[in-house]
Structure 1
């Protein structure tokens, strides 16, 4: 619940755009009180978020339910341990206004530990069918934005999956020819809380189960596909250290953004690195 408060605040203080903020929950005990307490402080520049509590069939079903309730032209979502950086939604709105043919935008994100200290910079590159057949998705949902028309075309998250649904979602959009682009600018933070699922054994088990028999990875191609992907990341500047300064909400200071600077690398942290204790 504490992480949710920070996520709500990071949306509430976004300036320069009109926001419709929905919170979708499957029935967590105390959720009404937690949201009420968070929005009492974090009223920001927008209406209070609307809370919907109903039983769902997992994370992706909950996301779909929330998306179906929205009315905005540009859609996005955060998990409770993620935040938007200041000015993010204005940046995204300006991008889509200037690029009317792009339907999905992926941006850079910064990984932080449980104290809010930056630990890794994730430079995004465009995903490809060949790469997604061989290994995990190279984008983060906290830095993914998309037009309503892709939902109207039926591109919702597959609810049969519990962890790798975002990978299957991007894969199916690529197969359908949805136009995508990247923005090499950090727009959000992803917190390593110890409960993240994307790099667990369960995630690896589910990773390729959704592929049809004809789409199953040809393992002999993997070295070539991965090498090509890494070369693209090299050209994009993904493999270098950076000095970053972010302004985020922390558990110690949940009512105002705290400025934090660090010199960080690019690697995905190993288990245990997320905690500063």
Structure 2
């Protein structure tokens, strides 16, 4: 039997993109889907778009303390066997939820699954393909490498069993950029992820996104997150060196 899946979308003033996000979830036609949109009282047309879907989704519209708080609200409301979050400027590719549901149905002991994702720009054109291929290559190595040296997990292409929150709690709301990396490292203490080579999602980078405009701050917080979980001086040095190299690359391609 296919597990139920809950998808959480945190949103704030993403009227330009959120319709595509919502459509990408609902068009999956997954038979046991719960979709929760948590909006921080957007001042653009985001709420009007979300409300237009009626009871096809659950809309929570209230002030929050930022993206991580919004995600946690959705995760606490969720009742699906499998959970994930999909930001309001990203979108699923066709067939994603069915592939995810079938994986967990066939692997009852698997705790979490991560797949591949395209990187796209504001208009949905594929960009930074070498970056995607590089991370894909790293994910073929052991978790200590691809989780310690750098965060190669694609956040919108990652799914886990909701039951793990009873053991690990929820996302760390003190983190603005790397709540996902911290969560992966906490999940890793329970079990390495199952890695799929299938493209699950499109991850959008645009001028207003944190990954597009604040990447240097993001990598700084990324390193601080690593320090919480890895004591090895070698891993810490390699991670810091890798971050510095990636920042220089991003300065040239953005």
Partner of 2:206: 193
1:34 shift after superposition: 2.6
Secondary structure at 1:28's aligned position in 2?
coil
Distance 1:118 1:222, change over 3 A: same
Aligned mates of 1:69, 1:148 — CA distance in 2: 11
**Alignment of structure 1 residues 104-183 onto 2, 5 Å:** 104-119=112-127, 120=129, 121-122=132-133, 123=136, 125=139, 128-129=143-144, 131-134=146-149, 136-175=150-189, 177-183=190-196
Which runs of structure 1 show a deviation greater than 6 angstroms over 4 or more consecutive aligned residues? 224-227
**8 Å CA contact retained: 1:106, 1:145:** yes
TM-score (norm 1): 0.71
Distance 1:14 1:83, change over 3 A: same
Partner of 1:206: 221
Distance 1:158 1:214, change over 3 A: closer
Secondary structure at 2:42's aligned position in 1?
coil
Q: Which has the higher contact order (CA 8 A, sep 6+)?
A: 1
1:209 shift after superposition: 2.3
Count of residue correspondences: 225
Q: More helix by proportion, 1 or 2?
A: 2
Distance 1:223 1:203, change over 3 A: closer
Partner of 1:218: 233
Secondary structure at 1:139's aligned position in 2?
coil
1:100 aligns with 2:114: no
Distance 1:270 1:179, change over 3 A: closer
1:226 shift after superposition: 8.9
**8 Å CA contact retained: 1:74, 1:146:** yes
Distance 1:16 1:65, change over 3 A: closer
Partner of 1:257: none
Partner of 1:52: 60
Larger Cα Rg: Structure 1 or Structure 2? 1
Distance 1:224 1:111, change over 3 A: closer
Aligned mates of 1:65, 1:88 — CA distance in 2: 24
**8 Å CA contact retained: 1:112, 1:190:** yes
What is the RMSD of the two structures over their aligned residues, measured on CA atoms?
3.0
Partner of 1:259: none
TM-score (norm 2): 0.77
Deviations 1:179-233 (A, max 9, x none): 4211111011112222232461111221232455783552587459999xxxxxx
Deviations 1:107-143 (A, max 9, x none): 0111122222222245271673465444x31011110
- 1:4 aligned residue (14, 18, 38): 18
Runs of 5+ unmatched residues, structure 2:
1-14, 243-248
Partner of 1:85: 93
Runs of 5+ unmatched residues, structure 1:
41-46, 228-268
1:52 shift after superposition: 0.4
**8 Å CA contact retained: 2:41, 2:47:** no
**8 Å CA contact retained: 2:115, 2:199:** yes
**8 Å CA contact retained: 1:155, 1:169:** no
**8 Å CA contact retained: 2:226, 2:236:** no
